[in-house]
Amino acid sequence: MGAHEKTAAGSDQHLAKSKQTRLGLYVTAHEAYEVWKADPDRVKIIDVRTPEEYGFIGHPDQAWNIPLAFVTYRREQGVTVYGPKWNPKFVEEVRSIAAATDTLLVMCRSGDRSAMAVNKLAEAGLKNVYTVTDGFEGDKVDDPGSVFHGKRMRNGWKNSAPWIYTIDPEKIILEEGVSE
């Protein structure tokens, strides 16, 4: 895996600050798929998107869905308010499916949340944790003349490797219910 340190361009300086991690270990979605294929028993793909994103937008078949945050909805004065509720068991849940010697490839939609997740895992002492810099959906098309302008259709797992919509209930982590 040493060849994949930093980015495909060779330096994390080419990444937006929001995609940089303390560990400085980066792969593209295409590289992540190749790394997983080379050692599927020791490489784990962790998808940190919400269960809704994982199920409705699609995901790699081999990915575990361990959300960094859940989306919460509530009504306040007749207005629906939503936002993230951080997963307090994120690190614990990752540790429950991965050995300390495993290589972890962490992805989200576009690379920002995966970088946050990698930093949390690094703080917890994990060392072999890579962020998938272009995430599942990839980067936005920057071509005002294209019907795809502004859409996440450049690179990303969805445009680089096999994926599915089918959910394996054993590979998806849902928010624990709250007892009354």
Which two tokens mark 83?
A: 């936002």
Q: What is the mean pLDDT of residues 85-110?
A: 96
pLDDT at 29 over 50: yes
Q: Please give the pLDDT value at position 125.
A: 96
Among 3.40.50.150, 3.40.605.10, 3.40.250.10, 3.30.750.24, name the CATH number for the domain at 2-170: 3.40.250.10
Q: What is the pLDDT of residue 3?
A: 43
Summarize pLDDT for 110-153 with one digit per residue, the tens.
Answer: 999 999 999 999 999 999 999 999 999 998 889 999 998 998 88
Residue with more model confidence, 13 or 128: 128
Tell me: pLDDT of 8 over 50. no
pLDDT at site 160? 93
- The residue behind tokens 């294209």 is 146
> How does residue 177 score in pLDDT terms, banded at 50, 70 and 90?
low
> Cα angle vertex 115, ends 167, 106, to 5°?
35
Mean pLDDT of 96-120: 96
Mean of the pLDDT values across residues 160-178? 88
pLDDT band at residue 1 using 50, 70 and 90 as cut-offs: low
What is the tally of helices (H) and strands (E) in the chain?
Answer: 4, 9
Q: Which of 103-107, 150-154, 169-173 has the highest mean pLDDT?
A: 103-107
Taking 50 as the threshold, does the pLDDT of residue 9 lie above it? no
Q: What is the DSSP letter of 20?
A: -
C-alpha distances (whole Å) from 148 to each of 53, 103, 143 are 20, 34, 8
Alpha carbon of 90 to those of 40, 94, 116: distances in Å? 22, 6, 12
**SS3 state of residue 104:** strand
What is the C-alpha to C-alpha distance for residues 144 and 146, in angstroms, rounded to an integer? Answer: 6
Helix ranges (H only) for the chain are 29-38, 51-57, 90-97, 112-123
* pLDDT, tens only, 84-96: 999 999 999 999 9
What CA–CA distance (Å, rounded) separates 111 from 7? 12
Written as six digits, the tokens of 82 are 């939503």
